[in-house]
Amino acid sequence: MTIDLDAIVAIDIHAHVQVSNDGHRALSNELIEASAKYFKADGNPPPTIDEIASYYRSINMAVVIFTVDAENATGVPRISNIEIAENCAKHPDVLIPFASIDPWKGKAGVHEAIELVTNHGIKGFKFHPSVQGFAPNDRIAYELYEAIEELRVPALFHTGQTGIGAGLPGGGGIRLSYSNPMLIDDVAVDFPGITIILAHPSFPWQDEALSIATHKANVFIDLSGWSPKYFPPQLVHYANTLIQDKVLFGSDFPFIDPNNWIDAFDQLEIKPEVRPKILKANAARVLGLS
């Protein structure tokens, strides 16, 4: 069974796996609590992959899921990419697995990326520069990018402010500057064969993100992490016009519920012909589903 594009109403390009099968979480309790406070989380335990699949199936959506491997910066062991891939394989009608590899792992990370795509069905890679503690244009990541380019799968980069570490002294050690999308512009130039997705409205660098997506054919933007009612006007304008084929629906589940996101999105002045592109068609093309 594969994803039936006619049977789903949307593809959510951005959702988090926060807990492994054995209950392990890949961030410290301090960072987890700060993030929950930032997003005003309801205090419920994070959903398992099976629960994510069941929920998205119930709302007729497909979803890209991933964790963040930040072992070098945080010292906390990651959630296994293979575990995510194997769990997603049980739900191919709704789940699309991305992997996360800490760029500090060097050649070991390169070998893992090749193995994950070749033998475990991974469809893309997620980077969170602020949490992983690296600048996207740092050469430490370039061998990994080379592998991703050769594998011909997308790379999704967190951009802008993050709820992780928000409100803690020194932000819990999280450096926001690493998530300036202009650093990813260098990656887009040096690796034109990688489809790059800039995650989130990139506060406080929204104009930079729009400029890059307009200028670079291989750069897209996902709209996760914010309710659409808070979108800056220039983002709505560009999504409706110049980059209507390059904007992707994303919720940031479980922090934001996808149905709530779409309810808010419906209140925006989005052209009728653009709405289905953002909700499904653009992501289907980026993910090779259409």
- Residue 157 is inside which H or E element, if any? strand 155-158
Question: What mean pLDDT is predicted for residues 248-253?
Answer: 97
| DSSP structural state of residue 6 | G
Do 209 and 198 touch, CB atoms closer than 8 A? yes
Which residue type occupies 221?
I
pLDDT at 283 over 90: yes
Query: How would residue 112 be classed by pLDDT, with cut points 50, 70 and 90?
Result: very high
**Residue 32's pLDDT is what?**
76
The CA-based angle 59-260-238, given to 5 degrees, is 105
3-state SS string over 40-109? CCCCCCCCCHHHHHHHHHHCCEEEEEECCCCHHHHCCCCCCHHHHHHHHHCCCCCEEECECCCHHHHHHH
With beta carbons less than 8 A apart as the criterion, state whether 223 and 199 touch.
Answer: no
Report in angstroms the alpha-carbon separations of 40 from 25, 226, 243. 19, 13, 31
Q: How many helices (H) and strands (E) does the chain have?
A: 13, 8
225 close to 200: Cβ distance less than 8 angstroms: yes
Q: pLDDT averaged over the chain?
A: 95
Residues facing residue 14 across a β-bridge: none
Q: What is the DSSP string of 179-233?
A: G-HHHHHHHHHH-TTS-EEEES--TT-HHHHHHHHHH-TTEEEE-TTS-GGG--H
Residue-range definition of the domain harbouring residue 45: 5-286
How far apart CA 195 and CA 192 sit, in angstroms, is 8
pLDDT (0 to 100) of residue 1: 58
pLDDT at 24: 86
Q: What percent of the chain has pLDDT over 90?
A: 88
b/e 256-279 (16+ beta carbons within 10 angstroms → b): bebeebbebbeeeebeeebbebbb
CATH number of the domain bearing residue 208: 3.20.20.140
pLDDT at 195 over 80: yes
Neighbouring-strand partners of residue 99: 125
Peptide bond into 204 cis (omega under 30): yes
pTM of the predicted protein model = 0.96
Q: What is d(CA 186, CA 167) in angstroms, rounded to the nearest whole number?
A: 30
Structural domain count of the chain: 1
